[in-house]
Structure 1
Amino acid sequence: MGDYILAIDQGTTGTTVALMDATGRLRASVNHEFPQHYPKPGWVDHRVDDIRASVEKGIRGVLRKGVCKASEIAAVGLTNQRETALLWDRETGEALNNAVVWQCRRTTEFCEALKSAGHEKAVRRKTGLVLDPYFSASKFRWLLRNTPGIKRRLAAGRVAGGTVDSYLVWQLTGGQQHVTDVSNAARTSLMNLKTLDWDSELAELFEVPREILPAIVPCSGLLGHTRGVRGLPDGIPIAGMAGDQQAALFGQACFAVGDAKCTFGTGSFIVMNTGGEPLHSHAGLLTTVAWQLGEGGKPVYALEGGAFICGAAVQWLRDGLKLIRRAADVEALAAKVEDHGGVEFVPALTGLGAPHWAPEARGVITGLTRGTTRAHIARATLDAIALQNADILRAMEKDLGRRMRPLRVDGGASANNLLMQIQADVLGRKLLRPQLIETTVAGASYLAGIGIGLWRGTADIRRGWQAGEEFRVRLSAPARRRRRASWETALERTLR
């Protein structure tokens, strides 16, 4: 074996597979997209075979780059879209239904019924999560009630369930390992934050049999070995695994309490390190596990808030309104105007996430006049992305009781310099964009490298992390308050 890490980042719209060397340098990467399916309004599916095929193509594609031979791969690290739920057959590995994606709202009615019955307080106390269709448990219930032939397979002990990480480990190990890591398990509404194990009362509440669930393991350590993977030799250790947002937090070297990162992707996801004990939010945020290194290692916890629509809002300008030809064109269009011109866009296209948790909210555009142009709508879209994030970050500071450190940013949209400057201005905090913006891939690689001893621990990672560009606050405090007041007026209309 050599000293290269193969990192698999299985995301919502595609899969990236990358190679990192022992110096922490990203040497090669490939991406393969696959379609999302929308069988009904508010429903989002993935065909599981599309996920598997994108990973297999990615592995073959990155090795064709010629950076290293397959025999020189020392370990595999995994990171994945979280909350997406799926079922498969233990004997054949066949998917039993489409995967229900984290964005999907099909279980809203069930979650509302649990709220009405008074269960939210207990769920939140045990899991750190709100009762919302976002999380996996209600999706598992839906799959178990709507998959043909499921009762027969359950009776025969043939049903395996899990999030995407579990399925990928199953496939990579030839069906030898059915595991999930603590960061993914923490997003299901079925794991107890204190015990780091499945909670029997929660499993009963959501009608999910514990026997279909994977074993919960740390994020770093020996999780299995490759077996029967086309293009890879058998026996490569799978040594790192985390949900994509926790992997990005790790990849950003956010190892101190108060360190936070924002990933600008399909949605925007903000995670702040809160240390060795769960910090329960009083401001509508989520408490989650950030990572656990090694068997018996002490878990690190985090606060998290996510806006469901970030890059997806720009995609809507492109695909729905046809205002731009490419997503990257939004920056130049928005830069044609000095400000939003009174236009406000609240992008509640799939409801509102933290800190509002309003699944039935729908998007609004206000403040239109005869003077409104495409550029004003584009600028209002970038403002909205930044303002949603600022709402979440202020709530985090309130919960933590301290001012946050400079915000570290990553994800595809973090390359948009105008958006990053707007974010710094409406937040009133400096932003740091790292030299390596593929921080999700980096986090998976670092976890796997620590798992095999390539890096000794977080101190090695911190020394290697390098900031690329800083975005300092340019907007005055009074102007920031006025901008926030205009946004909040539009937000109130959305929440009525």
Structure 2
Amino acid sequence: MAAAEVSHKDLETGPPTGSEKHTNGVGSKVKAHRTKDAQHGDKDLLQNVFIGAIDAGTTSSRFLILDGAGTPVAQHQIELDQSYPRPGWHEHDPQQLIDSVRECMEKATADFTSKGHDVSDIRAIGITNQRETTLVWDTETGEPLHPAIAWPDTRTQALVRELKEREGADELRELCGLPLSTYPSAVKLVWLLRNVDAVREAYEAGRLSFGTVDTWLLYHLNGGLEEKSNVTDATNASRTMFMNLHTLEYDDKLLDFFNLDRNKLRLPKIVPSSSPDAFGKVSEGSLRGVRITGCLGDQSAAMVGQKAFTPGSAKNTYGTGCFLLYNVGEEPVISKHGLLATVAYHFGRDKKPVYALEGSIAVAGSGVKFLMNNLGFVEQSHEITDLAATVEDNGGCVFVTAFSGLFAPYWIDDAKGTIFGITQHTTQGHIARATLEATCFQTKAILDAMAKDSGQPLAELAVDGGMSASDLCMQTQADIINIPVVRPAMRETTSLGAAFAAGFAVGIWKEFHELESINQKGRTVFEPDISEKKSAKMFKKWSKAVEMCRGWSDEDEDDASDQE
């Protein structure tokens, strides 16, 4: 669920500087142009207004301080430890999640004040976070009862198969917009209740607190046990399978399906994503007393940061995973073609919630990390682009990066990562290129599904996240989907979206049109540069590879229901 999860330095190749086709290495033609400067409003005034943004991602925690014109003026980032105790398991240390955020806040604030600014200039703070990652803690002590189960974790595969056979399983999507899979928080919580004694005992005693990363951070930033903050926003709640998309409240039918008693489980209160008082304020440190007024799941934050406020607009974030959100307006659209229905954002007061169709890809930047960390192809993530550019094409190599099965629109839980087409001709460059293409092909599949659900194809695709820095990857994306790909110059759109949510709550902005000029200068537009026939041929081979990767996961192997 993840923000621009690859570090902002990862895959950094820099945007092209001209409007003509050029070559960034062998065989990597890029056809792109830079947009002209947009008209700006009263920048002098906005540049003296500052907002903090906590970006709690899958691979790192960050804190940025942005001015009212959307320009980062100070930031600090800390990489997070990733724990993989068993195949398919992915965990985080709950204490590191909050400690890293606090350290980032302190160091970025020190940088901010060293530049002559004052802490009192920071009007508010927004939070954006990895979604679906599940935390449980003791309500009475505040102590975590298990490591956080991260969103890509697949230990629940056997449980999902069981739940799909339960009466009422077919009715869930109409209520919550999500299919039964290893992805949502609900199945992670059920697994914890079945397999971890401390979690089950706390539940039976009525002292089990459950939340996603936003709730955990807000609990601690507000003072922990002293204040007992227990809140989430609608975008994060919509990823749990507990919230009714239509009412934005917890639904007894959903809770009953998972055999959960809300009297035994402390669920966070669901509030709008932008609120002057619902999220509390920082209780300690340099920013003590500063209000937290915005909260958005990372992909919703990126959508807001890309200003996709009108129905029919869309964005794609290339982070640890890849997440494409399509604005469908003020009524949810339940997908018939393998997509998720989710809350895009809810800015409260007199504004209605806005919904999106979402296509989620489990592996994007993490595929690059795999080539770097596991196979030793390169030493730095950004070098993958150079390696991929050493060859003209993939050499017949197709890499289905199904490390966590395949998400939208396929939902193949029993797939595993599989490389097809290897010959003696295959080099590291071919595999590197196939890794980048895997994300682009899955994006194409999602866009096709969105066109079927919405009845209208997309005209252009706004992009952000670490992998979007690669000219080769973005040109490949434009070629495969046959529409322009638009990349902003400042790609911290997830943090920017959190800042927008916080700023609206304290009156820095009142209407969406006031944001039109922000982050418009120097955008790069990648134009398709191959024929539709060639693109269709490439996608046909990818689709064949997807079908061939089914069934690699053995049921006995995936049954992780033994007691810890």
- TM band (smaller chain): over 0.9
**Partner of 2:16 in structure 1?**
none
Cα distance in 2 for partners of 1:456, 1:465 equals 18
**Partner of 1:240 in structure 2?**
294
**Partner of 1:386 in structure 2?**
440
Q: What amino acid does structure 1 have at the position aligned with 2:448?
A: R
Q: What amino acid does structure 2 have at the position aligned with 1:198?
A: Y
Alignment of 1:149-188 (within 5 A): 149-150=198-199, 153-154=202-203, 157-175=206-224, 176=227, 177-188=229-240
**Partner of 2:344 in structure 1?**
290
Alignment of 1:45-444 (within 5 A): 45-66=91-112, 67=115, 68-150=117-199, 153-154=202-203, 157-175=206-224, 176=227, 177-210=229-262, 211-222=265-276, 223-234=278-289, 236-295=290-349, 297-444=351-498
Q: What amino acid does structure 2 have at the position aligned with 1:112?
A: R
Cα distance 1:93–1:70, how it changes in 2: closer, same or farther (>3 A)?
farther
Cα distance in 2 for partners of 1:280, 1:17 equals 35
Query: Secondary structure of 1:123's match?
Result: helix
| RMSD (Å), alpha carbons | 1.6
- Between 107-116 and 161-170, report the one with greater CA deviation: 107-116
Q: How far off its partner does 1:149 sit?
A: 3.6
Task: Please list the CA deviations of residues 276-308 of structure 1 after superposition, one character each: whole Å capped at 9, or x if unmatched.
Answer: 111111110000110111245311000001110
**Partner of 2:70 in structure 1?**
24
Query: Secondary structure of 2:299's match?
Result: helix
Cα distance 1:150–1:60, how it changes in 2: closer, same or farther (>3 A)?
same
Cα distance in 2 for partners of 1:408, 1:44 equals 30
Q: What amino acid does structure 2 have at the position aligned with 1:60?
A: E
Cα distance 1:461–1:355, how it changes in 2: closer, same or farther (>3 A)?
same
Contact 2:305 2:494 in 1 (8 A): yes
Cα distance in 2 for partners of 1:195, 1:59 equals 35
Cα distance in 2 for partners of 1:227, 1:302 equals 31
Cα distance in 1 for partners of 2:166, 2:397 equals 40
- Between 288-297 and 266-275, report the one with greater CA deviation: 288-297
- Between 455-464 and 341-350, report the one with greater CA deviation: 455-464
Q: How far off its partner does 1:246 sit?
A: 0.4
**Partner of 2:11 in structure 1?**
none
Query: Secondary structure of 2:448's match?
Result: helix
Query: Secondary structure of 1:463's match?
Result: coil
Query: Secondary structure of 2:309's match?
Result: coil
Cα distance in 2 for partners of 1:229, 1:133 equals 37
Contact 1:77 1:444 in 2 (8 A): yes
Cα distance in 2 for partners of 1:296, 1:203 equals 29
Percentage identity across paired residues of the two chains: 41
Cα distance 1:73–1:146, how it changes in 2: closer, same or farther (>3 A)?
farther
**Partner of 1:6 in structure 2?**
52
Cα distance in 1 for partners of 2:248, 2:365 equals 33
Cα distance in 1 for partners of 2:428, 2:151 equals 31
Q: How far off its partner does 1:207 sit?
A: 3.0
Cα distance in 2 for partners of 1:5, 1:460 equals 16
- Between 290-299 and 261-270, report the one with greater CA deviation: 290-299
Q: How far off its partner does 1:134 sit?
A: 0.6
Cα distance in 2 for partners of 1:54, 1:110 equals 32
Cα distance in 1 for partners of 2:398, 2:205 equals 55
- Give the unaligned 5+ runs of structure 1: none
Cα distance in 2 for partners of 1:242, 1:269 equals 15
**Partner of 1:454 in structure 2?**
508
- Between 377-386 and 51-60, report the one with greater CA deviation: 377-386
> TM-score, normalised to structure 1's length?
0.96
- Between 316-325 and 410-419, report the one with greater CA deviation: 316-325
- Give the unaligned 5+ runs of structure 2: 1-47, 552-564
- Between 199-208 and 393-402, report the one with greater CA deviation: 199-208
Contact 1:137 1:208 in 2 (8 A): no
